[in-house]
Amino acid sequence: MLKSRQLFQSISSVKTTEEQEAEPKKLKKNILVVDDDPYILRALSHHLNDMGYDTVPAPNGDAAIKKLNEAKVDLIISDVVMPGMNGHQFCQLVKSNASTSQIPFIFISAKDQLPDKLVGFQTGADDYITKPFELSELKVRIESLLRRIEKNAPVINQSKVILPSVNYETPADFSQMASNERITNISAQTSRELPPIQDIDALKELEKTMQTRSPERKNVQKVERVVSNTYETFEQVNSSEAAAIDYETLFSVVEKTIEGIKNEQGFEIDDILEASTLVLKSIRTNNNLILQALSNYEYDPFKSQLVNVCIFSMKIGIGLKMSDEDLIKLGAGALIHDVGHLYLPGYLSPEDLNEREDKLSQDELDLIKSHPLKGIEILSKFIPDLKTDYKWLYNIVLQEHERENGSGYPHGLKGSEISLQAKVIGIADTFESLAHKRTYKKDEFITYVAMQKIIKLKDRIFDSQIIKSLINEISLFPLDSYLKINTGEIGKVIQINHQNPLRPVIKIIYDKQFNKIIQERVIDLKSSPFIFVVKPIYDLSYEMKINK
């Protein structure tokens, strides 16, 4: 556990009085600071006051609830591990109450493992900062969240919040909230279940983070497309007559598109949009596409990457409550976002790069970084109105490698300068690459590893709201996927425990000899502390094949 004085030293490098006076004055915002360590509580409050905020200190979750009932609060900063009501439980109460759900919530904790952060996001937190931290980083995170709320959130009357107090001697009073013991023990349980993960290299210090608005869901059921400057409409996405699409068919659409580009015959953007429409229908019908996207190890890597990014992007977009029109454009853009690779030299083709083991030279890296511009060059040959009628596609292909802090390419765009659809495809593309970086059977927890690395890039490289949607929509153990548990049995995920994402509800299907179970048995891993996941199985037929 990090000592409070160590934390104070880690955040004590503040600006001089002269520097503070030189900065423009801001309207005072009230920040509720919750921590059971009085030294940390006092230090944080002091530094936040120096930043120009008013602080409302509280030593624990119960006291914080009383403060919310007494004062207007613009943002909450809370520790996780506290006696009585811990930070996760406090966050759940705040986010489940209509009067306080829009208040930005930041966790500050010394617990820096993926399960801790996953639970933090699953309980509703908007950000998670690991101790020790730089004061400048905290300031950037606070300002970013406050800007987002000022732009997007409805006006909330917080004059009387009336959040309940909780008597921990009678757990029933806490209703459906997770018990303190269950939430705080997730890390200990997971350390026995999952392999150790090595941290990625530290990134450059964050200087400025711009959050992008998550668009409100629109009541749009039709998508308009441009054909010779005349608008036509697609069939309603939610129509019961609309067909779904399977992975093989979607792969064939991409294959046809790639071959058309290679032989200079071109492709029809309408075919891509129609395929994307069917992907949306399929995703909302079942989980087959997402499961195949997580496990496909037998298809052409480059083409399957385009298919997988389309599926992942649309799942993330659904979590961001994008309109149907924007979702279909998002999926279509994902299906062709990396076509610029086709114009690179042969030795830098996706197929050759997939087999290379040596490090790329700087000249080779520069050539690869030119592929968004080459992608625009390709699409402009086949879509004359790319920069006007298809501006959304132009932005996706050109910007999907741009990053929040300006470290991306080709133009070093930052934050809100990047289109939301390009941001979504950017994170989906990175996740896809990480989740399929090694052979399927070599690392059964590669999805876990991929999500951990994505979370470490939060706000520096990727928008935290998009990361939250990635975690929520593309679960570590998706519905209908199979898991092997420590008893040797195999079960099917029938319910996700969002408070305990690593411990879903499963229905046992096979015993440890792969014999089908006759008598139905359901296990809630959240309530079964001695049973845990040994490994996920995204493709049951493959698992049975390699074990015969």
Q: Is a pLDDT exceeding 50 seen at residue 89?
A: yes
List 372's β-bridge partners, or say none.
Answer: none
At 19 the pLDDT is 46
CA dist 474 and 455 (Å) reads 14
For residues 242 and 153, membership in a common domain is answered with: no
Q: Is a pLDDT exceeding 70 seen at residue 185?
A: no
At 39 the pLDDT is 79
- Are 329 and 422 in contact by the 8 Å Cβ rule? The answer is no
- Are 279 and 289 in contact by the 8 Å Cβ rule? The answer is yes
Range ranked top by mean pLDDT from 182-186, 368-372, 420-424: 420-424
Nearest C-alpha neighbor of 97 from the set 53, 191, 162, 145: 162
For residues 173 and 229, membership in a common domain is answered with: no
CA dist 462 and 425 (Å) reads 11
CA dist 135 and 47 (Å) reads 8
For residues 302 and 350, membership in a common domain is answered with: yes
Model confidence over 20-67: pLDDT tens digits?
444 444 568 899 999 988 878 888 888 898 888 999 999 988 899 989
For residues 258 and 346, membership in a common domain is answered with: yes
Report if residue 158 sits inside a domain.
yes
Model confidence over 420-445: pLDDT tens digits?
999 999 999 999 888 775 443 344 55
Report if residue 474 sits inside a domain.
no
- Are 462 and 350 in contact by the 8 Å Cβ rule? The answer is no
Alpha-carbon dihedral 320, 326, 327, 330, rounded to 10 degrees: -100
Report if residue 426 sits inside a domain.
no
Query: Kind of pairing, strands 224-227 and 127-130?
Result: unpaired
Nearest C-alpha neighbor of 474 from the set 530, 523, 430, 524: 430
Report if residue 296 sits inside a domain.
yes
What is the rounded average pLDDT for all residues in the chain? 75
| Omega before residue 132 within 30° of 0, cis | yes
> Structural domain tally of the chain?
3
At 205 the pLDDT is 29
At 297 the pLDDT is 57
For residues 94 and 230, membership in a common domain is answered with: no
Average pLDDT over residues 405-420: 92
CATH number at residue 102: 3.40.50.2300
Task: Out of 367, 389, 406, pick the residue that ends a domain.
Answer: 406
pLDDT band at 391 (very low <50, low <70, confident <90, very high): very high
Residue 21 carries which side chain, given as an amino acid letter?
E
Q: What is the 3-state secondary structure (H, E, C) of 342-384?
A: HHCCHHHCHHHHHHCCCCCCHHHHHHHCCHHHHHHHHHHHHCC
- Secondary structure element (H or E) that encloses residue 397, with its range: helix 391-399
Nearest C-alpha neighbor of 237 from the set 320, 307, 331, 305: 331
Report if residue 428 sits inside a domain.
no
> Which 3 state secondary structure label does DSSP give 509?
strand
For residues 402 and 503, membership in a common domain is answered with: no
Nearest C-alpha neighbor of 473 from the set 122, 91, 218: 122
Least confident of 45-49, 91-95, 334-338, 528-532: 528-532
At 291 the pLDDT is 84
For residues 150 and 40, membership in a common domain is answered with: yes
pLDDT band at 214 (very low <50, low <70, confident <90, very high): very low
pTM above 0.85, yes or no: no
For residues 278 and 375, membership in a common domain is answered with: yes
Query: Quick one: what percent of the chain has pLDDT higher than 90?
Result: 29
For residues 168 and 255, membership in a common domain is answered with: no
- Are 127 and 212 in contact by the 8 Å Cβ rule? The answer is no
CA dist 304 and 251 (Å) reads 7
pLDDT band at 498 (very low <50, low <70, confident <90, very high): low
Nearest C-alpha neighbor of 213 from the set 472, 466, 427: 466
For residues 160 and 252, membership in a common domain is answered with: no
CATH number at residue 346: 1.10.3210.10
Task: Out of 406, 422, 437, pick the residue that ends a domain.
Answer: 406
Report if residue 56 sits inside a domain.
yes
> Between these two residues, 287 and 507, which has the higher pLDDT value?
507
For residues 91 and 166, membership in a common domain is answered with: yes
Model confidence over 96-116: pLDDT tens digits?
888 888 899 999 887 655 556
Task: Out of 347, 376, 406, pick the residue that ends a domain.
Answer: 406
CA dist 379 and 383 (Å) reads 6
Paired tokens of 285 = 């019908």
CA dist 270 and 276 (Å) reads 10
CA dist 489 and 509 (Å) reads 8
- Classify residue 221 by burial, with Cβ atoms within 10 Å: 0-12, 13-18, 19+: middle
- Secondary structure element (H or E) that encloses residue 371, with its range: helix 371-382
Paired tokens of 403 = 């990053």
pLDDT band at 277 (very low <50, low <70, confident <90, very high): very high
Report if residue 229 sits inside a domain.
yes
Q: Which domain holds residue 531?
A: 482-546
φ and ψ of 55, to 5 deg: -115, 145
Report if residue 437 sits inside a domain.
no
Range ranked top by mean pLDDT from 16-20, 107-111, 154-158, 523-527: 523-527
At 342 the pLDDT is 87
CA dist 310 and 290 (Å) reads 10
For residues 499 and 358, membership in a common domain is answered with: no
Distance from the Cα of residue 41 to its chain's centroid: 30
- Are 346 and 290 in contact by the 8 Å Cβ rule? The answer is no
